[in-house]
Structures are given as structure tokens and as C-alpha cells.
Amino acid sequence: MQFISWNIDSINAAVEHKSARGEMTWETLTHIASRQPDVFAIQETKLKNTGMTKKQAEAIANLFPDYELYWRSSTARSGYSGTMILSRLKPISVDYPSIGAPGDMDQEGRIITLEFENYFVSTVYTPNSGSSLVRLDDRGMWDNAYRAYIQSLDDQKPVIFSGDMNVAHEEIDLKNPKTNRHSAGFTDQEREKFSQLLKAGFTDTLRFQNPEIPSIYTWWAQISKTSKINNSGWRIDYYLVSNRIANQIANTGVIDTGARQDHAPILLEMDF
């Protein structure tokens, strides 16, 4: 089975594709559709709390005909955050959980989980700690609550979960670790919380296949015109699976987005 996950940074920008970057986003979305993944998870949809417009819905339906579609928008702040999953298979059930996260995090549309016969598929858009780390403590509470939630799923059946997790786990996962030790996404706390998630019984699929290969990144800062050219990036998007199905990982990777900066889609293929 083929799984793809992507922080799209606005479905509307992709559908409208009126700018050069929007055009590249649309091209990437079209490429993903051509691959016909079994499950496609999207983060940062930025949809209004009423969901997609008619134009957006028609565009997605044309690209992904015969897919089941599930979306969740932020009710705390319209047009912010948001997640979506498209699936070729109809799930047994769909959950839009509240995990007991602090502040408005549970109202920001950050998690969707599909239940299938033999496993769960979940996607997450993890809160960012902020440029001055103003949300770091809340982020730590989120990480604890999220880990407990994923463990509760794993107690029932294996889990395949993905998303923009807003953390580069090890120094190998970003170009400039020394100068980013106190940056959001690479603080000791965030990295330790991710380690705790793995220790709870989960496998980082890309590192499972590529344990020591450097310069594999999924995000390049838009603020720097040369970040993509120089491959000065971060790996902050992940596919994780329950340890007991790690031996069924067939392929992992990052889908090329050419000159487009920001997030790139990630790929997981499982032998099911």
C-alpha cells in the first residue's frame, strides 16, 4: 500500500494557483494524484470552518475521484491549521479526537484518525513552539497528550501515522544544527519528546531504511531564497508506524517538488 503525507500550506492557494508558488503547489498536488496513493494525508489546509468552497471541492474531486474524503478545520481561528485525509478504501470509523491539549490546540483541527480492519491511519499537524518559543511549554503538554493518544490506538491495533511534527529529531535531520540549538523545532525539549514517542513503541520509517544518510530534508524556509538551492533544510515531516509492523516497511522517501520551498510530500509504502 502507498501512503503520502504533505503539509500543503493552503488548499486554496493550490486550487487557485495564481502565483508562481501556487502553480508549483498545484503541480505537486497533481503529481500526487497521478500516483494514486491508497491514503493521502494533508496538513495545514487553512480551510474555513465551513470546509471547502465549491471550487475547491470540485478541484479535489476531479483530482481524486472515488476517494473517501475527511476534513477537519480549526474552530478556534478560521483559515488556520486544519487537516484532511483522502482514502481509496472506506474506513470502519473516523475520529476527530480531542486529546486534552492546552489552550485552543484541540480546536485547531490538528488530528484525524481512520480505523481500518487491521490498523489505524492517523495524521497530525503538531503545533509550532513559535519563533521566540512562547508556546514551548504548551507544545510540551501537547507532545505528552499526543503520545498518550497514539499509545491508546496502538493498544488496539497497529498505527500508521504521519504529519508535520515540527521537530528535527537528531542533528542529521537539519543542515545547521549548531546554530539552531535554541530554535523552535530543535530545542532539547522537543527532541526529547520525540524520542519518548519512539520509545513508546514506534518506528521512524525513513530512518529505519536510511539510518545514517544525511541531507534528507522535508522543509526549506521560504524566507531564504537559497535554502532549496543549497539544500539548507530540515526534516520535520514523518511517517511513523508501530514497531510490530516495521518489518513490513517496503519503501520511504521525499517527493521532489523542484524549486518549491516550504514542505515536500513524504512517501511510505507498506507490504500489506
225 burial type by CB count under 10 A (0-12 exposed, 13-18 middle, 19+ buried)? exposed
Topology adopted by domain 2-270: Deoxyribonuclease I; Chain A (3.60.10)
Q: Which helix (H) or strand (E) holds 76?
A: none
pLDDT of residue 182: 93
Distance (Å) of CA 161 to CA 9, 88, 92, 104: 19, 17, 17, 22
List residues with catalytic annotation: 125, 164, 263
pLDDT for 28 equals 98
- Residue 57 has φ and ψ, to the nearest 5°, of -65, -40
Residue 54, judged by CB atoms within 10 A of its CB (0-12, 13-18, 19+), counts as: exposed
Quote the pLDDT of residue 131. Answer: 87
Annotated binding residues for Mg(2+), written as ranges, equal 7, 44, 164, 166, 262-263
As a whole number of Å, the CA-based R_g of the chain is: 17
* Residue 238: predicted pLDDT: 99
60 Cβ contact partners less than 8 Å away, ≥ 6 residues apart: 11, 15, 52, 69, 86
- Are the C-beta atoms of residues 97 and 108 closer than 8 Å to each other? no
126 close to 110: Cβ distance less than 8 angstroms? yes
- Domain ranges (residues) in the chain: 2-270
Instruction: Classify the phi-psi angles of 9: left when phi > 0, otherwise alpha if psi is within -120 to 50, otherwise beta.
Output: left
Distance CA 162, CA 1 (A): 15
What pLDDT shows up at residue 249?
A: 98
For 115, other C-beta atoms within 10 Å of its C-beta total: 17
The annotation places the binding site at: 7, 44, 164, 166, 262-263
pLDDT in tens, the chain (272 residues): 999 999 999 999 999 999 999 999 999 999 999 999 999 999 999 999 999 999 999 999 999 999 999 999 999 999 999 999 999 999 999 999 999 999 999 999 999 999 999 999 999 999 999 989 999 999 999 999 999 999 999 999 999 999 999 999 999 999 999 999 999 999 999 999 999 999 999 999 999 999 999 999 999 999 999 999 999 999 999 999 999 999 999 999 999 999 999 999 999 999 99
Question: How far is the CA of 123 from the CAs of 179, 190, 239, in angstroms?
Answer: 30, 19, 9
Tally of CB atoms within 10 A around 59: 20
